[in-house]
Structure 1
């Protein structure tokens, strides 16, 4: 495979030489492509790409066997080479693996979580004192927090108030607890390993808070839920326990029991629709031809922009207030999965992986950093996400920004008003910002991320840099404690 891959890579490098300085206006009639998948449309018309480049990218995809490896991932094969295990987050939303016992175990676990949530929402699952829960305190960080917070912010519709505690900063902890009453607060502690320092520190503080504010020493057992894949770490802890499969990574875990706070915020009907949207995207990605496969197209565009047009950052700009936390969610999903240096092999030369992923809610962002986008000196690309039936002003702004960034604006009389253009973008147009469509959107980015791992020869399902950071911080903390 190595020599074949190298040939395709060199072909793409040669094509990039032609495209780096090509007039954006030259693309207008060369490629007009869009894909419709469920409730969303993917439009890459304003990318610096033509049919010749797309054909070469698809040949590279085939040489890397990326689509085949994604199929192996769906089936449950051990694509996470670091842990020697599968990556089975798609099974959490009903996409079956090749293992019938695993599928049955997943279904049973998901039904238990759903029943628990329904009991809390109707008031049959109560606090230690017999009162129904009015508040939920979620303790978790990273993949145990970002997706849940995003969905709660976007779709909260039940009577419960969901509070998120991620950092272990004293002021944040105390201010959060000051607004809560242990008599009607359900505490959810989420950590895949159940060894994350920030999460454990916050949980111990909440345990103390319960002891200080209740006369019942066993009260917390009725009011706490622990979610993890490390059964041994929680076996002696009080409360309800929900286990997730070790094959489900934290940043891919919103579909599992880790999604409990989002389920409580959205309600079962909306949460099921969210999972159904992801299932529909799974089906599309498994069956689509490369040029008609939305996840493959996003992945190939990323490879083209990053490795051949040398673009080092991508902005995610949602023109929809419900999606304002999406940039932070995708930042972790993509940068923690793909922010790695490839090991030599398979004929690929040294190459970059995921660029900086960042962004903000529109149109607020237009008044914050769009000046940098229009007249700054750095190269970038953009993912614009908008609603087809949005407020016309919002949609007009989205389309105008997209065209200006690509085509630019020349003003010979006032050069300071000129915009150089040349910045490619992808438009993802949503029919509506409902739970099902957003489920499809998140699954789309998950599959794009996995495909990029297979194309770049990095494992998208580990995070060794993060793990080392935990060990290093613990060692320094111990030295600081000794120096007191």
Structure 2
């Protein structure tokens, strides 16, 4: 594995002056000045239509961002990512989630394929009742080891009828009790997902699940455990038989790991063909990102818009609204992907960043959100770029009016945010307009399109990091609180008076 200095070299070279000096041209004027605007700021990839025309990107902004990308050596960093070079410089690792879907260094692609074959073999064995009758799968993980599989199963597995899958991440015992309330312990397998197999919350939940099995007369609870990990030795040490360990590469980061063995609950719940289609859809987006000119490149255009609003317009948040109930978990998934990746205050070489990094990602489900938060979006004082997601093919069998009203609302909200409405006689009923939005429209929600959509968000996050000169692939910010919690649990931490009092009140 070859180390690269590209990330370190580029952090001091990009000049944001041209971005910061861009004129603020209203959206209506941008449309009026360019009859081809919709076509030039829309693109279609893997059954997904991306419409960036209601953002403030225009020819001048695109020229400035492509110049910035050249100065930041985005092309070189992108090639380093796909070639298996060390781009996670703080931890000295390659970042090879794309190899899981067949796009990367040859040896990494081959290793990922071998791990996938091992996973498929174990799934075949489970389906053949090698572990006895199985009706329920209890998946225990946290962070990327839970958010990705849960998104996939909730979006695609509602009618699969294959296995009853519950995903538990919270250490709160109420979460585990709720998950197993309807499970038969004698027909349950437990998937324990932890990259290091040392995650405190995950192992505590797993131990409690084993205790539940013992209490209900399961003779060999460990014989019903499957480990999903990049540290097989740790799983063996914990008690899992080697034949039921599904490894994945150390170079696959947690929030990018659903394509690996971490995707086991989705693969068994949806079926192997669906899991392969998920990988294929992501690979289509990989090729689009790798080979397409930046001005027609969906992840690059999205990142340019993100950076325009954070760096030039000083927007602090970005809202994502899924106008499809099956995508209700997407905003939560994106919160980790985007904020854990790009919520950094130093560059890849440890220098102060000196500018905004990732916006705060938030969102919800339309049309519910319209009756909760859209008041602020339309008439509040905050500038909030909005992203609408819709699916052309409905996911229900009810009257067509349900789906028509759903999509019409999504499209109308974007139009209203841009158009606004003046009202000199009653300012309370005036809408300033000129508020940006992006619309992402899937032909249908299936494994291929969902795989492509998630890969789009991964590459979008990567482009933003590359242009900012930060490392998107470490997450040291999550460690301090965990470290202090462990010390407090041992009684070896001196806290401030407030925290000391809270601990006393809770535990005596």
C-alpha distance in structure 1 between counterparts of 2:348 and 2:144, whole Å: 29
**Greater mean alpha carbon deviation, residues 386-395 or residues 42-51:** 386-395
Task: Pick from 370, 376, 399 the counterpart of residue 374 of structure 2.
Answer: 370
C-alpha distance in structure 1 between counterparts of 2:325 and 2:74, whole Å: 35
Q: Which residue of 1 aligns with 2:399?
A: none
Contact 2:421 2:431 in 1 (8 A): yes
What are the equivalent positions in structure 2 for 1:26-425 lying under 5 Å apart? 26-29=29-32, 30=34, 31-32=37-38, 33-97=41-105, 99-100=106-107, 102-120=108-126, 122-127=127-132, 132-156=133-157, 157-214=160-217, 216=219, 219-236=220-237, 237-239=239-241, 240-343=244-347, 350-390=354-394, 391-425=403-437
Q: Which residue of 1 aligns with 2:471?
A: 459
**Greater mean alpha carbon deviation, residues 411-420 or residues 159-168:** 411-420
SS at match of 2:245: strand
Deviation at 1:340, TM superposition (A): 0.6
**Greater mean alpha carbon deviation, residues 379-388 or residues 250-259:** 379-388
Asked whether 1:25 is paired with 2:28, we answer: yes
- Length, aligned pairs only: 470
Deviation at 1:406, TM superposition (A): 1.6
Deviation at 1:95, TM superposition (A): 1.4
User: Please, which runs of 5 or more residues in structure 2 have no aligned partner?
Assistant: 1-8, 395-402, 492-502
Provide the TM-score with structure 2 as the length reference.
Answer: 0.88
RMSD: 2.2
Deviation at 1:198, TM superposition (A): 1.1
C-alpha distance in structure 1 between counterparts of 2:156 and 2:336, whole Å: 21
Contact 1:67 1:451 in 2 (8 A): no
Deviation at 1:123, TM superposition (A): 3.4
Q: Which residue of 2 aligns with 1:11?
A: 18
Contact 1:344 1:350 in 2 (8 A): no
Cα distance change on mapping 1:257 and 1:346 into 2, 3 Å: closer
C-alpha distance in structure 2 between counterparts of 1:3 and 1:195, whole Å: 34
Deviation at 1:428, TM superposition (A): 1.0
SS at match of 1:235: helix
SS at match of 1:280: helix
Q: Deviations over 1:272-310 (max 9, x none)?
A: 111110011111111111111111111111111111111
Q: Deviations over 1:337-356 (max 9, x none)?
A: 01111239799971111101
Deviation at 1:159, TM superposition (A): 2.2
Contact 1:231 1:243 in 2 (8 A): yes
Deviation at 1:103, TM superposition (A): 2.8
Task: Pick from 433, 438, 443 the counterpart of residue 431 of structure 1.
Answer: 443
C-alpha distance in structure 2 between counterparts of 1:228 and 1:75, whole Å: 23
Cα distance change on mapping 1:408 and 1:171 into 2, 3 Å: same
SS at match of 2:88: coil
Provide the TM-score with structure 1 as the length reference.
Answer: 0.92
Deviation at 1:433, TM superposition (A): 1.1
Q: Deviations over 1:218-264 (max 9, x none)?
A: x1232110111122321221241111111000000000000001111
User: Please, which runs of 5 or more residues in structure 1 have no aligned partner?
Assistant: none
C-alpha distance in structure 1 between counterparts of 2:118 and 2:357, whole Å: 39
**Greater mean alpha carbon deviation, residues 319-328 or residues 253-262:** 319-328
Deviation at 1:119, TM superposition (A): 3.0
**Greater mean alpha carbon deviation, residues 295-304 or residues 170-179:** 170-179
C-alpha distance in structure 2 between counterparts of 1:436 and 1:276, whole Å: 6
Cα distance change on mapping 1:454 and 1:138 into 2, 3 Å: same
C-alpha distance in structure 1 between counterparts of 2:351 and 2:451, whole Å: 36
Contact 1:342 1:456 in 2 (8 A): no
Contact 1:118 1:268 in 2 (8 A): no
Deviation at 1:105, TM superposition (A): 2.1
Cα distance change on mapping 1:172 and 1:301 into 2, 3 Å: same
Deviation at 1:3, TM superposition (A): 11
C-alpha distance in structure 2 between counterparts of 1:146 and 1:472, whole Å: 24
